Structure 1
Amino acid sequence: MSEKLEHMAFLSLLVAVTLLFGLLLWPFLAPLLWAAIIAVLFHPVQLWLSRRWGDRPNTIALVTLLACVVLVVIPVLFLLISFLQQGLALFEKIEAGQLQPGMYLEKVRAAFPGIQAFLERLDIDMATARENAAQAAVSASQFLARNALAFGQGAFGFMLQLALMLYVAFFLLRDGRALIEHLIHAMPLGDERERHLFQKFAEVARATVKGNLLVAMVQGALGGLIFWILGLPAALLWGVVMTVLSLIPVVGAGVVWLPAALYLYAIGELVAATVLIAYGVLIIGLADNILRPILVGRDTKLPDWMVLLSTLGGIALVGINGFVVGPLIAVLFVAFWQIFSDEFNPVTRIEHSAEEEAGEG
């Protein structure tokens, strides 16, 4: 009885200390998450260097991290700063009255009277819609302006988190494999289950970041390029907006380029509008279907409805980092239930084994 009581007391304290440690790390969720993702994504680079340079873990980890900084971190920082600058400029134009979003909506209504008739059938008043569009544009530009100002004032804190991310990423690149083995040895879930769960984490990190993020960046870049070619204002700003919207399943970049094409039709720019629609459908729209299989490969994918719900839920829970956290939680949920089904349901286990053998064959 005494030994059992000691065992329960130790486990209770273990859980309490683990939760406290988690609370300590919670403010650093973003840099720790992205450090882990960097270690997963750049692991193939690390292996390639290891085969050529031999057992030099510090040098290999440092060179891998430098490659990440040059290829990813610096371009993203440049894009972020340019985005905030254009957002601030857009806010200043709206405040000065140089841009009037309601006027653009009015031109579309006048050019397409069928849209007004359709909206009236849905009991949507165009005047109210015009006012809401103007207010939404002002609110969005104010949000960008506030964040631009906050970024400038909090640049030191941002750079500190960036340095922390790179610092942790270096040690994960150097010692990641040994750390995983220690966790597998310590966790009481069974080595096979734990390896399966770590594999799922790596797969969803690759599928979400290498697939979704890179595809979204390509779509945003293509959208910003066509906006620039056609002479539309704030091309970089709208390109970044299309990138963010492309991260959300079902939504996509069409939310930006399709209304822009309608406006071009409304003001008589028929050639530019036709080019924008054709480009959006054939180039931006097909980029996902062409690039995603190449970038993601055979990595595990969730059903579309689960990707949508987990992405939106993750963003609501932890902000922009939720587009990774949400699908990660969802795939772990699926993995745990798959393990449970395989181990405690004999019929499911036999069917799953048969599917794996067929896949290998």
Structure 2
Amino acid sequence: MQRKLEDRSFLLLLLVVTFGFGLLILPFFYAIFWAAMLAILFAPLHRWLIRRFPGRDNISALLTLLASLLIVVIPLAVMMTMLAKEGARVYQQVSSGEIQLQALVDKARATMPVIQELAERFDIDLGNVKQMLSQAALTGSKFFATQAFNFGQEYLQFTVSFVLMLYLTFFFLRDGGSLIQLLIRALPLGDTREMHLFQKFAEVSRATVKGNLVVAIVQGTLGGLIFWALGIKGALLWGVVMVVLSLLPAVGSALVWAPAAAYLFFSGDVFKGVVLVLFGFFVIGLVDNVLRPVLVGRDTKMPDYLVLLSTLGGLSLFGLNGFVLGPVLTALFLAFWQIFMEEFNNNEEKSISDEEDASGG
């Protein structure tokens, strides 16, 4: 009786202390999460360096960390800085009247009379449309300008999280194997199950980060180049926006080039509009349809529709970090249920069949 009371008291205090520690590190969750993602993503390079430099774990981890900075971290930081800078510039141009979207509707009305006829038929006031377009452009560009200002305001917090992420990445790379073994010993799920879940977490994380980023960068680059070739203003801005939106499977890049094509049609540049539509469908869209299933769907072993749903759900719950968290949580959900069906349902079916054999015998 005394032993049972002591065990229950210990387990209760264990839960309380663990919960308190979770609250303690909660403000740094995303720094820890992205440190783990970088360690998982560059684990193959780290293992190769360990083989090249046996006994020099610190040097191998440091070289891997530098590679992650050059390949992933610095390019992403530059891209987001460009996005904020270009958004602030467009906001200033719209506010000052240098960019007048009201002229778009007037030009479309003059070059394509059918728009005026359709507007009258459906009782659409083109004056309100002009005002809505102007307000939408102002709101969108103001958002980027505001984000740039907020980034400046929260620069200290960002710097602390960034440095913490790099610091943790080094130790996750160097001590990752021992940390996983420690977790396997601590978690009461069974070593085989825990190894399966850790492997699934690593596979999905690596595939999601690697695949989505490659697809997004390729689509954004192609989108920016076609915008520049067609003479659309702000090609750099829209290319970076397309990189961000391309994290959404199937529909992301089209949220940029489709309205741009409509703009060209309404402006009377029918040839450029046709070129952009064809390029969007058969080049930018082909990248999504070919690369994403190969880089993401195949490695995660999830169907395309589930990748899309989990990505959208993750983005709505966790913001930009959700493009990884969503598929990872979905993959873990599937892995848990797979273990349950293999271990529990099979045992139940086996017991039923044994009873049937016994009764038949």
Q: Aligned equivalents of 1:318 and 1:297: distance in 2?
A: 21
CA contact (8 A) 1:110 1:266 kept: no
SS in structure 2 at match of 1:299 = helix
Q: Give how far 1:33 is off.
A: 1.0
Give per-residue Cα distances to partners, 1:30-76, cap 9 Å, x unaligned.
21111000001101111111222223110000000001111112212
CA distance in 2, matches of 1:113, 1:339: 63
Give TM-score, length-normalised by structure 2: 0.88
Match of 2:88 in 1: 88
In structure 2, what residue type is equivalent to 1:84? Answer: A
Task: Tell whether the 8 Å contact from 1:49 to 1:60 is kept in structure 2 after alignment.
Answer: yes
| CA distance 1:249–1:54, change in 2 (3 Å) | same
Q: Number of aligned residue pairs: give it.
A: 350
Moved more, 226-235 or 295-304: 295-304
SS at match of 1:202: helix
* CA distance in structure 1 between the aligned counterparts of 2:148 and 2:291, rounded to whole angstroms: 32
Which residue is equivalent to 2:241?
A: 241
Does residue 183 (structure 1) correspond to residue 187 (structure 2)? The answer is no
> What is the aligned-residue RMSD (CA, Å)?
2.6
Q: 1:117–1:182: structure 2 CA closer, same or farther, 3 Å change rule?
A: farther
Letter in 2 for 1:150: N
Q: TM-score, normalised by structure 1?
A: 0.88
Provide the C-alpha distance between the structure 1 equivalents of 2:43 and 2:64, rounded to a whole number of angstroms: 8
d(CA) in 1 for partners of 2:185 and 2:349? Answer: 25
Tell me the amino acid that sits aligned with residue 67 of structure 2: A
Aligned to 1:299: 299
Offset of residue 275 of structure 1:
2.3
Distance 2:17 2:7 in 1: 15
1:8 alignment counterpart: 8
Cα distance in 2 for partners of 1:123, 1:17 equals 65
The structure-2 alpha-carbon separation of the partners of 1:28 and 1:101, relative to structure 1 and needing over 3 Å to count, comes to farther
Q: Which deviates the most, 6-15 or 60-69? A: 6-15
Can you give the 5+ residue segments of structure 1 that lack an aligned partner in the other structure? Answer: 351-361
Alpha-carbon distance in structure 2 between the residues aligned to 1:297 and 1:306: 9
Letter aligned with residue 77 of structure 1: A
The structural deviation recorded for 1:241 is 1.4
Matches within 5 A, 1:22-37: 22-37=22-37
Closer/same/farther in 2, CA of residues 298 and 311 from structure 1, 3 Å limit: closer
Residue 23 (structure 1) shift: 1.4
SS of the counterpart of 1:345?
A: helix
2:146 maps to: 146
Q: C-alpha distance in 2, partners of 1:348/1:307?
A: 32
> Any stretches of 5+ residues in structure 2 without a counterpart?
351-361
Mark the structure with the bigger radius of gyration.
2
The residue that corresponds to 1:358 in the other structure is none
Aligned partner of 2:308 in structure 1 is 308
CA contact (8 A) 1:207 1:300 kept: yes
Q: d(CA) in 1 for partners of 2:190 and 2:105?
A: 60
Worse-superposed segment, 56-65 or 251-260: 251-260
Q: Kindly indicate whether residue 207 of structure 2 is the aligned counterpart of residue 207 of structure 1.
A: yes
Segments of 4+ in structure 1 off by > 6 A?
113-125, 347-350
Distance in 2 (alpha carbons) for counterparts of 1:233 and 1:40: 39
Residue aligning to 1:353: none
- Tell me the amino acid that sits aligned with residue 261 of structure 1: A
SS of the aligned residue for 1:258 comes to: helix
State percent identity of aligned pairs: 53
Tell me which residue corresponds to 1:52: 52
Pair 1:7–1:103, CA change in 2 (3 A): farther
Give yes or no for contact 1:107–1:263 (8 Å, CA) kept in 2. Answer: no
Partner of 2:155: 155
Assess if the C-alpha contact under 8 Å between 1:220 and 1:241 holds in 2: yes
Against the structure 1 CA distance between its residues 225 and 48, is the aligned structure 2 distance closer, same or farther, given a 3 Å change threshold? same
Name 1:257's counterpart in structure 2.
257
8 Å contact from structure 2 (residues 310, 326) kept in 1: yes
